[in-house]
Structure 1
Amino acid sequence: MARDTGTDAVAGGLETLTREDTAAMERYRRAANYLSAAQIYLCANPLLEEPLRPEHIKDRLLGHWGTAPGINVIYQHLNRLIVKTDASILLVTGPGHGAAANLANMYLEGTLTEYFPELTQDLAGLTRFVTWFSWPDRFPSHLSPLYPGVIHEGGELGYALATAFGAVLDNPDLIVACIVGDGEAETGPTAGAWHSSKFINPATDGAVLPILHLNDFKIANPTIFASMNDDELTALFAGYGYAPRIVSLGGRIDEDLARAMAWAYQDIRALQQRARGGEIVDRPRWPLLILRTPKGWTGPSDIDGIRIEGTFHAHQVPAKDAKKNPKHLRVIESWLRSYRPWELFDAEGRPAEDLRAACPRGDRRMAMNPHADGGAMRRPLVLPSLPDLAVDVTTRGHVVRSNVGQLGLYLRDLLRLNRAAKNFRIMCPDELESNRLGAVLEVTDRQYVWPLPDGTEQTSREGRVMEVLSEHNCQGWLQGYLLTGRHGLFPCYEAFVHIVDGMMNQYAKFLKSSLEVPWRKPISSLNYLLTSEAWRQEHNGYSHQGPGFINNLLTKKGYIYRIYLPPDANTLLVTMERCLQATDSINLIVSGKQPMPQWLTYDEAVDHCRVGASIWRWASMHHGEDPDILFACSGDNLTLESLAAVSILKAEAPEWRVRLVSVTDLLVLGIPQKYPRGLDEAHFQRLFPLGCPVVYNFHGYTAAIKQLLWERPRNDRFDLNGYREEGTTTTPFDMLVQNRCSRYHLVIQAAQKVAARHPERAALAEALIVKYERRLAEHRRYIREKGKDPADITEWKWPGP
């Protein structure tokens, strides 16, 4: 029975099903359910033309049956909606483990045959089709980039809805139907994503039709939503701002669902027509469908006296030992025969004509929607002129700017240049101005549609900035935006980007798989900008000090991602331009927002970023030739300390030969066999000679550098400094002292290594060690008394030219 909480007005004819229509829909659904179950079990005899025998059953039964029938009925009714209206609809399936259902529909509509010519619509092709599911080197059991029409594979539940909303931004003619499983709906990311509808502008964006599929059970437990009655569900989603409508299984499932789909479509178009006609639609309430069906609907009612249909026992593979257990084999045969496949396929194994006629044609098939192949839709950005925005570094280290603040000017111009194209957005968790990117608000607003309190600034219905205090939403929106052919940036506090660790993992896997699919075209890279970084979170304290996102990214394939640690504004600008031009990668840029000394001219920054790591001869002693000791650095604050250490040694030990190497593109440290940007060994040793000790001052956890260096010869010459999980509310310099990354620690380390390598210099080395250990003790006393860093730290300038 359908519960209507919105208008009953519907688009003409959509809601009406004749008896013939109902019979045809029942036939199509039998075919889709049969093919879904057959994929799980069969490797032969796909139309049951002979009695089912053990050799017809796969040795490994994998997949998920429980959610498949619900996906099939949704897919079927969306197909009908498309056929009746010619709407452009893309399907995002949150319960991606129900892939057998999606594949069944793709096979019936002919999409799979176009992408996989071996899957012909005949008996031979049908045999291959059922066999390939969960088969080595063929079809995985989850949705995957291998399948057409997929922009979200649902491997880790919770991210489908945000991805769907990202896909419709700036896509005014697109509707994304998003199936949300009731187990998935329990997740935090989904809970936050329901609010995404408040950001969608019906005048300029497309629409998302959420379809909450309630089949009551997860793997082994009831879902929370299963315990809620219709009134509670209606109140919940009305409170979120939707117009919900509930459809429950009954004798009139097709009639009720057809009316609900028609109502939802009419409401979407009515909202859009009003807004596009110039009306300000206050609090637009988008439709939302809730579909109740039993878990494993139409499957075995019971096996061995245990109830299956309508329980968690239907979640994965009922009768999993059917190959060896004759009783279970009979259950499976009886179940499969209940769909009467001989009525649905002809003698040659072709789907009946009426089944194919029920499907949309061409790119109106959901799996063929052009937006699902974002690479084909992608257009390059128009990029600002970097030299016009570069910092004029006339005296090294004496010009002080916010690196990220300078980047804000670049992004402002980028938004202005691409205003008409509407293909670039910034997704940020309420931190745009906090992270010194406020210049973009000179040319755009934040987008938000619902009414806001007085005092709200620079927020309107049309903006290129999406801000919400949900990193999950920002990540999901950006994924949907990129995968449908656009560009974007995700700025975030460094410590809290970990909230999307799981989402990044899943996206990296999606990206790797996509690169192995020949028909998928390159998409824009996912660009993270991490600022408010650990070394200048001394004011917020220990909870805000966490640079470990780098380590998580390093677990992925070396060709999937890049990690950049630009030391100043000009290198940050050059790096960002490279990232916005790059495709098929995850780019991580870490840069502080606080005012910092500027080191490189624009031309120097271009050369430095081109190679990723270089000797700064101007910052070295004796021009960096034949070094006794080598300082390496990655990260703006860590570079500052390394330069300060060199300046101390220039004054205290001018005869020592000190080289400074700046590493901006972190992956150049790895071997090229694993990391495409890795330096070949000859180049690596030109920077880091085998016999020279290296003191490496690194922005993050030292395990990241160890991972990159461990296959380099003589890697024991590297002494690594980094964040040691020490911090509190303290002074900026004390953060470096507590983690043993300060200039004083570097001088001490250098002296120890020079003395070990050159015993004739041990006396001076010992004097330096004693002196700077004393300075460290004095620092501790000073900050406790004064509550600030001393002037020789805060006012330090690079002494060289």
Structure 2
Amino acid sequence: MRQEKRTPKAKDGKGTSVAERHTVLTGEELTALDAHWRAANYLAVGQIYLMDNALLTEPLRPEHIKPRLLGHWGTSPGLNLVHTHLNRLIRNRDQSMLCVWGPGHGGPAVLANSWLEGTYTETYPDVTRDAAGMNRLFRQFSFPGGVPSHVAPETPGSIHEGGELGYSLAHAYGAALDNPDLLVACVIGDGEAETGPLAGSWHANKFLDPVHDGAVLPILHLNGYKIANPTVLARIPDDELDALLRGYGHEPLYVAGSDPSEVHRALAAALDRAADRITAIQRNARDSRDGSARDGAAYERAAWPMIVLRTPKGWTGPADVDGLPVEGTWRSHQVPLPAVRENPAHLAQLEAWLRSYRPDELFDRDGRPSDQVLTCVPAGTRRLGGTPHANGGLLVRDLPVPPLDDFAVQVDKPGVALHEPTRVLGGLLARIMADTADRRDFRVVGPDETASNRLEALFEATGKAWQAGILPTDEHLARDGRVMEVLSEHLCQGWLEGYLLTGRHGLFSCYEAFVHIVDSMVNQHIKWLKTSRELAWRRPVASLNYLLTSHVWRQDHNGFSHQDPGFVDHVLNKSPDVVRVYLPPDANTLLSVADHVLRSRDYVNVVVAGKQPGFDWLTMDEARAHCARGAGLWKWAGTEDGTREPDAVLACAGDVPTLEIIAAAGLLRRHLPELAIRVVNVVDMTRLMPREEHPHGMTDAEYDDLFTTDKPVIFAYHGYPWLIHRLAYRRTGDANLHVRGYKEMGTTTTPFDMVVRNDLDRYRLVMDVIDRVPGLGVRAADVRQVMEDTRTRHHSWIREHGVDLPEVSDWSWEG
């Protein structure tokens, strides 16, 4: 089945179609391009099917075929075509380029091209660029002990995990930010184009500064089908598609057809035209603006070029199998010939398919690619598989984090003065932003919440990136800004991932409840980092750092919809080698944690901190020591005298739980002074895990020394209580552990009522101690009743006055 060429009619002569405007390819160039494409196609098919006889030096036999046929053919010929022509563009223009391969399982194509250009052999010397290496390349694909069927960390030149769709364009734009000489090509499959994250990513061009940033060239590959259904953008009318893409701010160039020679000429023309247009946009912007202008209401944003490539799915593969059409249909999506070992007709058809590429013209007797195949392949780091931008650890520089004492708050006595922790952090981030003004390798992203999260000091150092219109009433918008706000958590995450993986630093600030929107994306990034750490050639990159604020205990005004602390649970399910979670209880500990995570490499760090005024507990020196321990005693808050073991342990993790535990300790000190109470604060949640399960985990001896083996532990935790039980379930004293936390009792109410509703309040915590210390219940029945009565009085008070009890709102530490 052959697909006819479809190109929209030109409306204004400005590039709707390039079908009649071909770059003039000589016959020799055309032959070389086609040879490279055929070689890549041959290698892609071989990876899916063959485990031996790679060069077809003898007729195919069943034992040459893999017992399990896995992989995706349908998208591979289109990706091979794009790779072939990007090679030509790079070589002709000496262009620094990175390509993000969006179609999910296009691994055969990208691996094939990496092997042809030599970067695969340089990375994996045992996969030589000859017949033996070709056999190894084929056998390892989707094979036990081998490599995945999609583009993955193991793939040279890749920064994009192809196993999940929707994120390619956001990654591409993230890679282009602050990379002024880099052109990032991004192949978008038409199945991927149906996802929400990809649809939102088209707006990224409104944030790309042509002065300081590189360029992104989207290549929308329309081959018509997903696994079993047609794709939307391949089936809507051409004029509708054209209007959509122009509405997104692009100048689309169309290439379509099924005749290889015609498509080669048209694609070469489209890429040349796109590259010329990109160069012109950048030159005009860089000649007319020094990059420091922050006004510019009359600024006219250019329409960046993009390419729409329409070719048959499974192009050059079997036209039909068992009487059913395959090429150009959904049947070519994965393995077009499914029963090659068992069906002699399929085996014969596979051999004919492979020989149709004329491998004897493409490889010499030893299996090495011919000179003609390699004519357009660039050299060295210009090769797509060899670009250092895809191995960002080669480029990353240490972030200049200034001395913390410059920003620390003074603490003369714990629990008296208050500060907004994230506002304090904002000063540190602003200094970093200023100190990286020339090198431009630090960005802060977030969904329209930088000022809301009290980080507005950043705007003293930079503006918010913005390339659309600017009105006199706008604040902090800047063409060259390095704070990026867009109301799409997906786009923020994708930008930052692309930025980090290409060698820069950043921070993602988000409301805690809504960071769940990127649950799936952080999964993929964690898996990427875990695999990358196992590859010696992948150099460590800056960590992905989340600052989660506007959190569950201070979303009392927004209500139940804004109250969800579960992202921590989600992250701690993942590889312990990669994930870290920190809950600093005050401003100085937040500074110390930020200093650590911003300097770290190859982690996903989640930091949960409040933006509302909170008590200062520790001096800067104390905060450094406490954060280095990750968990420790706050002796000043307890009543231990060192002569006996504590009667109970009050533990906490998180700013509001810390406040409630300290307040409970104060109540116990006043009402039950004979009790020996130990107070433990946990900053690093992974400290609760066994050392055998996490590198930050405590040994059993360390845990027992801190929490005891047989005393009741009342643990006030920021999130869902069962996480603490899960982290500590193997410990000796687990049966004595009683955890209070959020249990989905949320509403619009007062701040203290939130903790009361979830039984995390100081009065309930005192009651828990009385209930769990042996023999105390009878002796302290009157104290328990006072606590219960205070909770009852609280309910009546807030309904009458609309604010919390004076003894709560006016509380400070008196110890």
Q: Structure 2: 5+ residue runs without aligned partners?
A: 290-295
Q: Which residue of 2 aligns with 1:550?
A: 568
Q: Structure 1, unaligned stretches of length 5 or more?
A: none
- Aligned partner of 1:76 in structure 2 is 84
Aligned to 2:705: 686
TM-score by length of 2: 0.96
Could you say which residue in structure 1 is the equivalent of 2:378? 360
Q: Is the 8 A contact 1:752 1:765 kept in 2?
A: no
- Could you say what the CA RMSD is over the residues aligned between the two structures, in angstroms? 1.5
Give the counterpart of 1:771 among 786, 793, 813. Answer: 786
Cα distance in 2, alignment partners of residues 762 and 534 from structure 1? 32
1:419 paired residue number:
437
How far apart are residue 23 of structure 1 and its match? Answer: 2.2
Q: How far off its partner does 1:14 sit?
A: 9.0
Note if contact 2:708-2:733 (Cα within 8 Å) is conserved in structure 1: no
Say which SS state the counterpart of residue 86 (structure 2) adopts. Answer: helix
1:617, 1:85 → 2: CA distance? Answer: 67
Q: Which residue of 2 aligns with 1:40?
A: 48
Any idea what the Cα deviations from partners look like across 1:407-428, whole Å, max 9, x if unmatched? Answer: 1111111111221221110011
Matched residue count:
794
Distance of 2:196 and 2:712 partners within structure 1:
48
**CA distance in 1 between partners of 2:648 and 2:90 (Å):** 69
Give 1:206's match in structure 2, choosing from 204, 210, 214.
214
2:725 to 706, 711, 718: 706
Contact 2:411 2:616 in 1 (8 A): yes
- SS, match of residue 97 in structure 1: coil
TM-score of the aligned structures, taking structure 1 as reference length: 0.97
Q: Is 1:275 aligned with 2:285? A: yes
Question: 1:442: which partner in 2?
Answer: 460
Residue 588 of structure 1 aligns to a residue whose secondary structure is: strand
Q: What does 1:101-116 align with in structure 2 at a 5 Å threshold? A: 101-116=109-124
Query: Quick check: 1:535 aligned with 2:549?
Result: no
Q: Tell whether the 8 Å contact from 1:14 to 1:262 is kept in structure 2 after alignment.
A: no
112-121 or 238-247: bigger deviation: 112-121
Partner residue, 2:312: 294
Which residue of 1 is the match for residue 293 of structure 2?
none
1:741 aligns with 2:760: yes
Q: Please tell me whether the aligned partners of residues 80 and 109 of structure 2 are also in contact (alpha carbons under 8 angstroms).
A: yes
Partner of 2:332: 314
Q: Which whole-Å deviations, capped at 9, do the CAs of 1:520-552 have from their partners, x for residues lacking one?
A: 111100000000000010100000000000011
- Classify the secondary structure of the residue corresponding to 1:39: helix
Matched residue, 2:682: 663
- Structure 1: how far apart are the matches of 2:307 and 2:782? 76
Partner AA of 1:270 in structure 2: A
Q: Give 2:742's aligned residue.
A: 723
Q: CA deviation at 1:467?
A: 0.6
Q: Which amino acid aligns with 2:427?
A: L
Instruction: Please tell me whether residue 20 in structure 1 is matched to residue 28 in structure 2.
Output: yes
Is 1:634 paired with 2:653?
Answer: yes
The corresponding residue for 1:131 is: 139
CA offsets, 1:37-90, max 9 Å, x none?
Answer: 110000111121211110000011111000000001111111111111010110
**Quick check: 2:411–2:618 contact (8 Å CA) kept in 1?**
yes
Taking the TM superposition and a 5 Å limit, the aligned residue runs for 1:361-380 are 361-380=379-398
Does the Cα contact within 8 Å between 1:490 and 1:527 map onto a contact in 2? yes
Q: In 2, distance between residues paired with 1:592 and 1:452?
A: 32
Conservation of the 8 A alpha-carbon contact between 2:587 and 2:616? yes
Where does 1:29-178 land on structure 2 (aligned, <5 Å)? Answer: 29-178=37-186
Deviation at residue 452 of structure 1 after TM alignment: 2.6
Deviation track 1:127-166 (CA, whole Å, cap 9, x = no partner) reads 1111111122222111111111110012110011001100
**Equivalent-residue separation in structure 2 for 1:204 and 1:512 (angstroms):** 32
Match of 2:799 among 780, 784, 787: 784
Q: Residue 617 of structure 1 contacts residue 623 of structure 1 at CA under 8 Å; is this kept in 2?
A: no
Shift of 1:777: 1.6
For residues 123 and 613 of structure 1, the distance between their equivalents in structure 2, rounded to whole angstroms, comes to: 57
User: What is the letter of the counterpart of residue 278 of structure 2?
Assistant: I
Indicate the residue corresponding to 2:272 in structure 1. Answer: 262
Rounded to whole Å, the distance in 1 between the matches of 2:606 and 2:507 is 10
Deviations 1:104-141 (A, max 9, x none): 11111111111111222222111111111112222211
CA distance in 1, matches of 2:386, 2:638: 58
CA contact (8 A) 2:721 2:742 kept: yes
In the alignment, does 2:669 pair up with 1:654? no
Give me the whole-angstrom Cα distance separating, in 2, the residues matched to 1:127 and 1:456: 61
Secondary structure of the residue that 2:288 maps to in structure 1? coil
| Partners of 1:109 and 1:356 within 8 A in 2 | yes
* Percent identical residues: 50
C-alpha separation in 2, matches of 1:658 and 1:93: 58
Query: Is 623-632 or 363-372 further displaced after alignment?
Result: 623-632
Whole-angstrom CA distance in 2 between matches of 1:271 and 1:623: 72
Q: Which of the numbers 619, 626, 639 marks the counterpart of 1:601?
A: 619
Bigger CA drift: 524-533 or 112-121? 112-121
Secondary structure of the residue aligned to 1:353 is coil
Shift of 1:6: 6.7
Q: Deviations over 1:498-519 (max 9, x none)?
A: 0000000000000000001011
- Indicate which of 406, 411, 426 corresponds to 2:424: 406
- Separation (CA, whole Å) in 1 of partners of 2:99 and 2:206: 21
Q: Label 1:201 to 1:6 Cα distance change in 2 as closer, same or farther (>3 A).
A: farther
- Contact in 2 for aligned 1:91/1:367 (Cα 8 Å): no
